[in-house]
Structure 1
Amino acid sequence: MAAHSDTDMDLSASLLDIVNEDMCPRHVQVLKSFRTALRDQEYRDGVDEEVFGTLLKILSRLDEELRCQDDQSVVIQLTTECCRALRNSCVQSQRNQDLLRELGFIEATLNILNLLLTHESSDGLFETIGCGIQLLGNLSVGNQASKDHIWMQTFPETLQQLLGVADEKAVGFASMVIHTCLDEDKVEQLPEPQNLPLALRVMELCRTQPDLDWPVLIATQHFLKSSALVESMYTGMSPLERVTLLELLSAQLGEEDTEECGIPPEVARFLACCFQKGCGAVLTLACDSATSDEEALTVISLLDVLCEMTSDRRQFMFLQEHPDLLESTVVLLQQVHALGKASKNVFSAAQNFSSFGLGGDASSSSPSVSFKAHLIRLIGNLCHSNTSNQNKVRVLEGIPLILDNCSIDSNNPFISQWAIFAVRNLLELNPENQKLVSGLERRGTVDYSALLELGLRVEERDGSLLLKPLNKDS
């Protein structure tokens, strides 16, 4: 123990030298040695408060030195090593986290970070900024008091600045700090107009730097659980940014195996309204000059999300009763189907499957691929075990339309399967719809092979056509 105490005294004296002497490379080595020693849990737990007080004086002096115009290479190195040492001191040590917070290290670190953000880019600058941000992260991990204190000191302007640093690692560290500090109450602050830019910046990172995990985790584990924030972000986004948000929603729905996915019902209602209001934009894809129309891409993504939400997820099946959603979908299917038949365009049925095999021309793919199939899928979902919606589709003349899409179409992979699925849901326990289909077959206006795919056959009895299941031996 005596040897250990002697070492501590030597270290304390060496740290005081950094406060009192002209800063030099030898001081960098002192901080490196201290940082290495702090990797040991027992050593971390035994660091005296006076040592941390000396480190705070060092940070204050570094702040002063960074404001000078002279050569700052040694100062930058010292700042980096000081932040690294403090970062190490917080690992699995609430005692040290509390000490640093109470002594004022959060404010001191933020002062230095704000100063460094105004510096011109130089060797080691981004590394120093990154280490300072990591210190904030380690201060907050598992420590609610530190989380709240850091959030109060940095939200929203400083956090937004840190997310704008021209260094991917530093941005990743800043995202980690945000993710660590966030909770339900803090998320509810984000929809406010003065705070929304921070949320939008996180979503921008999801789109522009997809390799960063933390922004995606922030979005999926926090943002998507707030209906107010989703609505505010969507309203303030460009069409391509909306596509990113919708892709994250779709991925979240696809990854969840449980009944509850964390997405509020209000989000589903909002997206259904957005689809109804903007769905006509997809029709512009029929013109060659609009093949990259961003509004149309948003509609396509909205449809994908609605299909996922209504795929046997009980928490979202209230969408079956959402006013005019089914009608809007049927009408849109009628429009794109008519456009596809009127002239050759992206909505026309095709039999070119080269792009799906080796040597295919991937550049020929269009964002509209599978759009008709997904419209039919949504109709089928909305009609599942819902007599009222089954009848609506019949009144809207949607059943012949869906049967007309039972053929293979390379522009809509699996469209025949989705059409069969939809017709099955439309006919289930619905004599009127079954009678309609029988009449279509009698007039020869529907391909009988589609009914065979459904496991159905048409039987004539007393001058009428009846829909019957296929015999097992037929």
Structure 2
Amino acid sequence: MAAAAGRSGSQSPLAAAARLGRSVAVAPAARLESVRALTDLLREPQLRETAEESVFQDLLKILTEALNEIEQAYKDSCELLDLDTCLLLVAECFRCLRNACAECAKNQDVMRNLGLITTSVRFIKLLDGIQIKEELLLTAFRCSLQFLGNIATGNRDSQNSIWKCAFPDLFLTCLTYSDEKIVAYCCMVLFTCLNSEKVRELLDPEKLTVALHVLKVYKEQLESEWSVTLLELIMSKVSEKNSVTSEEMNVFMRIADFLASCFRDKCEAVLKLTSAADAEDEEALVTVRLLDVLCEMTSNNGQLEHLQALPGLLETAIDTLRLTHLAGKQSVNIFTATHAMTGQEEISHPAVGFKSHLICLIGNLCYKSKENQDKVYELDGIPLILDNCSIDDNNPFVNQWAVYAIRNLTEQNERNQELIARMEEKGLANNSVLERMGLEIEKQDDKLLLRSVRRKPL
């Protein structure tokens, strides 16, 4: 192997750094320095690409011996004399491997074929079993997960190998760990490995706990960027038109319960989007995607009845609509109704359509549900919806969704019909708005009725 430019000597830098690691007689501290030198060298893309397999064989040997020592010491309930150095060495080996396989498919394949993925998984299981929580162990734990993340990036074979070794038990171990970095790195590995085929396995009734734990990370720590990705995957799954089994439907019910509780707890986070500086706020973005998924789920007849009965979901949708509507009136922001575009512009703000989707969710939840129709009446939700039905470039199709919601609210519900009729009579509901919605007021026997208008052909 040729030496890198600017370095002298007949031996390659990698071979020189790895030389100490090959000798069993070398002291652990000397091995540690040798591996640290390798770690620094393998930051350079050129040296990564020219690394020989023997380098990784040496690292595997060092790792295996260190893991055997730790495992034997705790198996025999005896104290490992130099545990700190041993853990430092393990961490440095994984850090070195992490660097070596970054954007390097050749090294990813070599490491996988040598069994380093299996070794990493074995180490994580070992650490979880001995239940040590000291900082050096946590560092080694984190480095092993970072290695798995790097070896999986862009490499389908490595992704499949990790999934086979780690799903679901290892992911559950890491997702429930008390260390936030371990949880975050675990999410990174999980989502690097996911594809459409694995999503089906992720949502398997017996393994659903993994998906719920990822969402739990969001709900409790509010720092998980992976929650958005998982919601996207769930969204694509529930949007499928294929018929689902009763078992899969039960899975969706459990997901729906959890998503609804997340939305109820964190919906006000979307108000952060009134500030341009917070347009990419992670918590707010997850709230937006939660609403999208709930709209999709309530559009499915198989899941609708269950969602209609969930405590607090309809109330949360109405309260959130009221808060965003008020926020849009208090200052000019993404929740302010606007109609100034020429038709050529495109708004890319993440909250575009949020109020439309809230009205869609309310309409879905009231579909053929007298209880929810009455609940919206009691919460003064009908005037709120009518006040949001004007053309709004920040909320495409809001008028159509308002029509849909009002029709679902008034279907076979005379009290709701009378409310809208009285509002129009008192000037509280603009008649032109009702006309645009395809509705008109009719008086019969001193009673005001709301009915659909049959449009004349053009």
TM-score tier by shorter-chain length is: 0.5 to 0.7
Q: Aligned pair in 2 of structure 1 residues 244, 271: CA closer, same or farther (>3 Å)?
A: farther
Encode CA deviations 1:108-140: one digit per residue, 9 max, x unaligned: 111111111233212311111000000000000
C-alpha deviation, 1:223, in angstroms: 2.7
Contact 1:76–1:125 under 8 Å retained in 2: yes
C-alpha deviation, 1:46, in angstroms: 0.8
**Structure 2 counterpart of 1:85:** 96
**Structure 2 counterpart of 1:7:** 13
**Structure 1 counterpart of 2:305:** 273
Given the alignment of the two structures, is residue 334 of structure 1 paired with residue 346 of structure 2, yes or no? no
Secondary structure of 2:202's aligned partner: coil
C-alpha deviation, 1:181, in angstroms: 0.8
Q: Aligned pair in 2 of structure 1 residues 272, 262: CA closer, same or farther (>3 Å)?
A: closer
Q: Aligned pair in 2 of structure 1 residues 94, 232: CA closer, same or farther (>3 Å)?
A: farther
Letter in structure 2 aligned against 1:28: L
1:426-445 alignment to 2 at 5 Å?
Answer: 426-428=434-436, 430=438, 433-436=440-443
Encode CA deviations 1:49-101: one digit per residue, 9 max, x unaligned: 11111111111111111122313100000001000000000111000001111
1:60 to 57, 61, 64: 64
Contact 1:11–1:34 under 8 Å retained in 2: yes
**Structure 2 counterpart of 1:358:** none
2:40 to 12, 29, 36: 36
**Structure 2 counterpart of 1:206:** 218
CA distance in structure 2 between the partners assigned to 1:321 and 1:209 by the alignment? 30
**Structure 2 counterpart of 1:94:** 105
C-alpha deviation, 1:374, in angstroms: 5.4
Letter in structure 2 aligned against 1:324: K
Taking structure 2 as the reference length, what is the TM-score of the superposition?
A: 0.67
Contact 1:38–1:89 under 8 Å retained in 2: yes
Identity of aligned pairs, percent? Answer: 19
CA distance in structure 2 between the partners assigned to 1:5 and 1:105 by the alignment? 26
Letter in structure 2 aligned against 1:332: K
Contact 2:28–2:85 under 8 Å retained in 1: yes
C-alpha deviation, 1:329, in angstroms: 4.2
Letter in structure 1 aligned against 2:299: A
Secondary structure of 1:39's aligned partner: coil
1:401 to 415, 419, 432: 419
C-alpha deviation, 1:212, in angstroms: 2.8
1:300 to 295, 310, 315: 315
Where does the alignment leave 5 or more consecutive residues of structure 2 unmatched?
A: 4-8, 74-78, 239-247, 271-282, 323-351, 390-397, 449-458
C-alpha deviation, 1:377, in angstroms: 6.9
Size of the alignment, in residue pairs?
372
Taking structure 1 as the reference length, what is the TM-score of the superposition?
A: 0.65
Contact 1:250–1:305 under 8 Å retained in 2: no
Q: Aligned pair in 2 of structure 1 residues 53, 194: CA closer, same or farther (>3 Å)?
A: same
Contact 1:271–1:302 under 8 Å retained in 2: no
Contact 1:191–1:233 under 8 Å retained in 2: no
C-alpha deviation, 1:226, in angstroms: 2.1
CA distance in structure 2 between the partners assigned to 1:208 and 1:38 by the alignment? 37
2:80 to 56, 70, 73: 70
C-alpha deviation, 1:26, in angstroms: 2.3
Given the alignment of the two structures, is residue 160 of structure 1 paired with residue 175 of structure 2, yes or no? no
Letter in structure 2 aligned against 1:277: A
CA distance in structure 2 between the partners assigned to 1:10 and 1:73 by the alignment? 25
CA distance in structure 1 between the partners assigned to 2:437 and 2:21 by the alignment? 83
Contact 1:106–1:136 under 8 Å retained in 2: yes
CA distance in structure 1 between the partners assigned to 2:386 and 2:438 by the alignment? 19
C-alpha deviation, 1:384, in angstroms: 5.0
Contact 1:53–1:103 under 8 Å retained in 2: yes
Q: Aligned pair in 2 of structure 1 residues 147, 264: CA closer, same or farther (>3 Å)?
A: farther
1:324 to 354, 368, 381: 368
Q: Aligned pair in 2 of structure 1 residues 199, 306: CA closer, same or farther (>3 Å)?
A: farther
**Structure 2 counterpart of 1:464:** none
Secondary structure of 2:299's aligned partner: helix
Contact 2:32–2:92 under 8 Å retained in 1: yes
Contact 1:35–1:84 under 8 Å retained in 2: yes
C-alpha deviation, 1:24, in angstroms: 2.6
Q: Aligned pair in 2 of structure 1 residues 63, 394: CA closer, same or farther (>3 Å)?
A: closer
**Structure 1 counterpart of 2:184:** 172
Contact 1:80–1:132 under 8 Å retained in 2: yes
Q: Aligned pair in 2 of structure 1 residues 57, 250: CA closer, same or farther (>3 Å)?
A: closer
Contact 1:382–1:389 under 8 Å retained in 2: no
Where does the alignment leave 5 or more consecutive residues of structure 1 unmatched?
A: 279-294, 338-370, 407-415, 442-474
Given the alignment of the two structures, is residue 126 of structure 1 paired with residue 130 of structure 2, yes or no? no
Letter in structure 1 aligned against 2:315: I
Contact 1:14–1:30 under 8 Å retained in 2: yes
Encode CA deviations 1:345-397: one digit per residue, 9 max, x unaligned: xxxxxxxxxxxxxxxxxxxxxxxxxx666566799967756699389458623
Q: Aligned pair in 2 of structure 1 residues 182, 394: CA closer, same or farther (>3 Å)?
A: same
Larger CA Rg, structure 1 vs 2? 1
Secondary structure of 2:39's aligned partner: helix
Encode CA deviations 1:270-305: one digit per residue, 9 max, x unaligned: 664344324xxxxxxxxxxxxxxxx33x33335579
Q: Aligned pair in 2 of structure 1 residues 398, 11: CA closer, same or farther (>3 Å)?
A: same
CA distance in structure 1 between the partners assigned to 2:265 and 2:68 by the alignment? 43
Letter in structure 2 aligned against 1:185: E
Contact 1:320–1:383 under 8 Å retained in 2: no
CA distance in structure 2 between the partners assigned to 1:217 and 1:429 by the alignment? 35
CA distance in structure 1 between the partners assigned to 2:27 and 2:414 by the alignment? 81
CA distance in structure 2 between the partners assigned to 1:388 and 1:237 by the alignment? 28
CA distance in structure 2 between the partners assigned to 1:189 and 1:392 by the alignment? 42
CA distance in structure 1 between the partners assigned to 2:18 and 2:401 by the alignment? 75
